[in-house]
Chain A
């Protein structure tokens, strides 16, 4: 095995005692013979392992347990609660424990909204066309009405030429 491969093993399996026996022996034999790999191994242990050995384990502050306990007790239904509330809580905990799929629901709601708006758009256009047609119809009717009035006012000739012919 060449030095490059040995260094690969040194940085992982050898350092962590994960080598099979045969490989372990091979690496140990190589280290005895190779100063460069030996220095690499020493440097590695000094720089990447020693910092962890030098620190002390830290205990969490006491108030964390109090917070956890408070949170658990706060979520539990007291015995004094009405029976229906306790039954509901029991059902909720046993059958509705899955998280509400917020993003899924939001997507569905967004899709419904878009569909609704898309459906509304042609309707509003239709309404505009209808109103416009209605206005035009009313205008035409008023024109027609005034024309009829003009036409029906036959006894009321306004010009001499009309008098002449009619």
Chain B
């Protein structure tokens, strides 16, 4: 996510919609991609993105520059996506009985796959969707913040409000699961 000048944030804090649009343009790519990888579903990612920016707009007046806007938005994005994912998973669990939630998330976005035109890109998308589908939501949030946005451990810990060693262990388990899925197990 690119840095947003302080004067833009100040204007947006005062309710300037044009300034807020600049924030949206700077951050929407990050928010949408993180939401998409956590939700594993395009339509749900769009809803999360919309929800995140409405939360940001409503709470911006309370933002006091104690942390960077980036960190603050990372936190809102990760929490909103995780909460949405967990809420939707509960509903899916109830309606689909014993079927795995993770697999459901992976295979529920057939319509999304049709949107991707290029074959190679489609293959990569599908592969990543399948791999992320093997992880639980918390592991997925960690690996997405690390691999897509390139956040450092400390930033991930702040964004998710967890201990830095928890970040380590979630990343470790996520990578083990991804490697095990595509390889049939990592040699130890």
Contact = CB atoms under 8 A, between A and B. Distances in A.
A166 to B, nearest CB: 88
Interface string B146-188: 1110001100000000000000100110111011001100111
A55 B171 contact: no
Contact of A56 (B50, B121, B171, B183): B121
Contacts of B49: 60, 64
Interface string A1-35: 00010011001110110100000000000000000
A64 B50 contact: yes
B17 A72 contact: yes
B7 to A, nearest CB: 20
Contacts of A47: 178-179, 182-183
A66 B176 CA distance: 41
Contacts of B17: 69, 72-73
Given A18-B153, A44-B175, A49 B147 contact: yes
B175 A57 contact: no
Interface string B5-42: 00000000000010011001000110111001000000
Interface residues of A, number: 35
Interface string A61-81: 100110111011100000000
Contacts of A69: 17, 21
A52 interface: yes
Contacts of B152: 16, 18
Contacts of A11: 171-172, 175-176
B124 A54 contact: yes
Contacts of B111: none
Contacts of B127: 51, 54
A51 B128 contact: yes
Contacts of A12: 168, 171-172, 175
Contacts of B175: 11-12, 15, 44, 48
Contacts of B91: none
Q: Which 5 A-B pairs have the closest CB atoms?
A: A60-B32, A52-B147, A48-B175, A54-B124, A47-B179
Interface of A: 4, 7-8, 11-13, 15-16, 18, 36, 39-40, 43-44, 47-49, 51-52, 54-61, 64-65, 67-69, 71-73
